[in-house]
């Protein structure tokens, strides 16, 4: 019996080795992570030069007919991405100048804690990308304290009857939605999980897990595609309907919404260890992968009527690539692990190609993202969150392939 066990174990180890070798052989042929991270550093320094030393504004997006960043202040929902990009660049370069810039732009965001600033679910994006990344890399207790305060502020939007965080409080009056939760909010749960295990309120773990379960139950169709927005009644907490704000239609398959979900449920599985979330992450990933075009970069909405002449969304690809790299490492099934890793690798290969790199044309990393097509802005643009998840994905890729 012992001999059979040893032989079986040896076969498993050999199989895992074959999978790993086959993946990493193709890896070496397709993506040079160090080269692309150096490219990111070059673009970052160009952006810093464009912004100037005294600027307290942060880069958000560059239209396709421009070479200059449109800037925002700390209150914009995307304000955390630029300091987050700088922290990842510091992680990869160890450059003290980049660290000083990451600190400078991170500290601008302390204004988000002012009592007069109400905020919304995007507090997760804002504090996680900046202060939590800064704390992770420096151990600065001041960053930890501010990030915990950010989690406290985010938790106030949790509705116990519904079991989710309200995303857009202003939509109660504007649209008559009693309580709404957008798919983007899956990303903000990570701040609550982080706070619960780093000295914050332990109840935040339960809030984040509840949000993920309620969203899983109501905000997806039977085919595992997602609604952008779920609307709930606040009396009984019942689901009313699913709609869109940034997709093609209420029933269409909006690419970035599914990207938030894939990344978000992978993160929730990592934090909880509950296989229900792993199974769900696989299902929503598989339907996304089935609909991708040949270059693995989605159109802004999979159901947009003008495909293949619709705009692409590189930001969705970058988000999914980063999420799938993590999912590939959390998987117990070697074949699924390989499938998700290879899909992420294909996405990164396309994003790193001349077709999607900004290069000398703009100081951003990536071209061809779509912000809000129905509202008519940031279409075929360079956008800061595309760049953030791209450099995060490259950093994860480098770590995986270097092991």
* Ordered DSSP codes for 242-267: EE-SSSSSTTS-BHHHHHHHHHHHHH
Portion of the chain with pLDDT greater than 70, in percent: 93
**pLDDT score for 252:** 98
Residue 272 has pLDDT above 90, yes or no: yes
Q: Residue 311 carries which DSSP code? A: P
Residues 396 and 92 sit within 8 Å (Cβ to Cβ): no
Q: Does pLDDT of 4 surpass 50?
A: no
Residue 390's closest CA among 261, 295, 297, 328? Answer: 297
Helix 81-93 × helix 384-402 angle, to 10°: 30
Q: How far apart are CA 251 and CA 228, in angstroms?
A: 9
- Nearest by Cα to 320 from 187, 221, 227, 194: 187
Q: Please give the Cα distance from 293 to 291 (Å, whole number).
A: 7
Pull the structure tokens for residue 351: 């994003």
Mean pLDDT of 316-341: 98
Q: Residue 2: is its pLDDT beyond 60?
A: no
The rounded mean pLDDT for the chain is 93
Specify the pLDDT at position 19: 40
- pLDDT tops 70 at residue 14: no
Eight-class DSSP state of 359: G
The predicted structure's pLDDT at residue 20: 39
Specify the 3-state DSSP secondary structure of 239: strand
Residues 6+ apart with CB under 8 A from 382: 61, 62, 358, 362, 364, 365, 366, 367, 369
Segment 341-378, tens digit of pLDDT: 999 999 999 999 999 999 999 999 999 999 999 999 99
For the segment 290-309, the average pLDDT, to the nearest whole number, is: 98
192 within 8 A of 207, measured Cβ to Cβ: yes
Q: Active-site residue numbers?
A: 122, 184
In this structure, what token pair is assigned to residue 292? 């991708």
What does the pLDDT look like over 171-228, one tens digit per residue? 988 999 999 999 999 999 999 999 999 999 999 999 999 999 999 999 999 999 999 9
Reported as a pLDDT band with limits 50, 70 and 90, residue 22 is very low
- Residue 401: count of CB within 10 angstroms of its CB: 16
pLDDT in the model for residue 5: 34
56 neighbors 108 (Cβ within 8 angstroms): yes
pLDDT band at 16 (very low <50, low <70, confident <90, very high): very low
* Residue 141 burial class via C-beta count within 10 angstroms: exposed 0-12, middle 13-18, buried 19 and up: exposed
Least confident of 28-37, 213-222, 290-299: 28-37
Residue 382: name the closest of 320, 317, 314, 316 by CA: 314
CA dihedral sign of residues 28, 31, 35, 38: negative
Strand 58-62, strand 369-372: pairing? unpaired
pLDDT of the residue at 68: 97
Q: Is the pLDDT reported for residue 167 higher than 70?
A: yes
Where would I find the beta strands (DSSP E) of 341-398?
A: 369-372, 377-383
3-state secondary structure of 370: strand
pLDDT band for 314, please (50, 70, 90 cuts).
very high
At 388 the pLDDT is 99
Residue 403: the pLDDT is: 82
Per residue in 102-143, pLDDT (tens digit) is 999 999 999 999 999 999 999 999 999 999 999 999 999 999
SS3 content of the chain, % helix, strand, coil (to 5): 60, 10, 30
Residue 203 is predicted with a pLDDT of 98
Tell how far CA 23 is from the center of its chain. 24
What own/partner pairs with CB < 8 Å and gap ≥ 24 does 159-163 have? Answer: 159/232, 159/234, 159/237, 161/234, 161/235, 161/236, 161/237, 162/214, 162/232, 162/234, 162/237, 163/210, 163/211, 163/213, 163/214, 163/237
């Amino acid at each position: 019996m012992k001999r059979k066990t040893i032989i079986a174990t040896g076969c498993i180890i050999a199989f895992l080795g074959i999978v790993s070798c086959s993946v990493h052989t193709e890896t070496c042929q397709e993506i040079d992570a160090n080269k692309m991270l150096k490219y990111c550093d070059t673009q970052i320094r160009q952006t810093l030069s464009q912004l100037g030393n005294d600027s307290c504004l942060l880069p958000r997006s560059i239209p396709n007919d421009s070479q200059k960043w449109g800037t925002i202040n700390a209150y914009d929902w995307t304000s955390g991405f630029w300091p987050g990009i700088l922290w990842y660049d510091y992680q990869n370069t160890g450059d003290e100048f980049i660290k000083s810039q990451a600190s400078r732009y991170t500290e601008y965001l302390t204004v988000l804690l002012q009592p007069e600033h109400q905020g919304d679910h995007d507090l997760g994006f804002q504090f996680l990308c900046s202060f939590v990344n800064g704390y992770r890399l420096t151990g600065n207790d001041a960053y930890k304290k501010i990030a915990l305060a950010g989690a406290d502020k985010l938790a106030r939007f949790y509705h116990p009857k519904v079991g989710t965080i309200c995303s857009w409080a202003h939509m109660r009056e504007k649209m008559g939605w009693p309580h709404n939760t957008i798919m983007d909010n899956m990303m903000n749960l990570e701040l609550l999980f982080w706070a619960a295990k780093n000295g914050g309120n332990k109840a935040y773990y339960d809030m984040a897990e509840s949000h993920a379960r309620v969203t899983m139950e109501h905000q997806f169709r039977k085919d595992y595609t997602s609604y952008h927005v779920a609307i709930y009644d606040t009396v009984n907490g019942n689901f009313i309907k699913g709609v869109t704000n940034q997709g093609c239609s209420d029933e269409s398959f909006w690419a970035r919404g599914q990207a938030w979900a894939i990344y978000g449920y992978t993160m929730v599985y990592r934090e909880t260890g509950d296989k229900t979330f792993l199974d769900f992450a696989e299902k929503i990933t598989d339907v996304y992968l089935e609909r991708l075009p040949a270059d693995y970069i989605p159109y802004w909405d999979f159901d947009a009527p003008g495909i293949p002449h619709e705009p692409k969304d590189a930001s969705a690809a970058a988000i999914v690539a980063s999420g799938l790299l993590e999912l590939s490492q959390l998987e117990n099934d070697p074949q699924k692990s390989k499938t998700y890793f290879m899909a992420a690798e294909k996405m990164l290969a396309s994003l790193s190609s001349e077709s999607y790199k900004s290069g000398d044309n703009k100081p951003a990393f990536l071209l061809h993202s779509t912000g809000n097509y129905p509202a008519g802005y940031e279409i075929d643009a360079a956008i800061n969150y595309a760049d953030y998840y791209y450099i995060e994905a490259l950093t994860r890729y480098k770590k995986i392939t270097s092991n």
